[in-house]
Amino acid sequence: MAAKLLKNFEQGQRIDELATAINRAAEAAVPMAKDLRVSAVRSMNANDAKNSLTSSDTSVTAFFTDKTRSASAARFCKRYSGR
């Protein structure tokens, strides 16, 4: 909705640039987080696997969030803050 409004005010190029920047950041983040995801899978026990298969539609996402959120945040904040 906001993008459409801004495009009506001839700001379409800025919206396109923002979308491109967000996509490039996401593409760069995938390899940076690979080892965190692999580590999370390796730490998975039988109960975690069962819950992922039999619980809610978001149980796998919840598992990865629980296992990787703090390490991901630390890694990405460090990477993009220049620390």
pLDDT of residue 46: 95
Residue 82 pLDDT exceeds 70: no
Average confidence (pLDDT) over 30-48 = 90
CA distance 50 to 5: 46
Average confidence (pLDDT) over 34-42 = 92
Q: For residue 50, name the pLDDT band (cuts at 50, 70, 90).
A: very high
Strands annotated E in 5-83: none
Tokens of 77: 């904040």
Average confidence (pLDDT) over 43-72 = 91
CA distance 33 to 68: 9
Residue 18 pLDDT exceeds 90: no
Per DSSP, 55 falls in state S
pLDDT of residue 75: 80
CA distance 75 to 80: 9
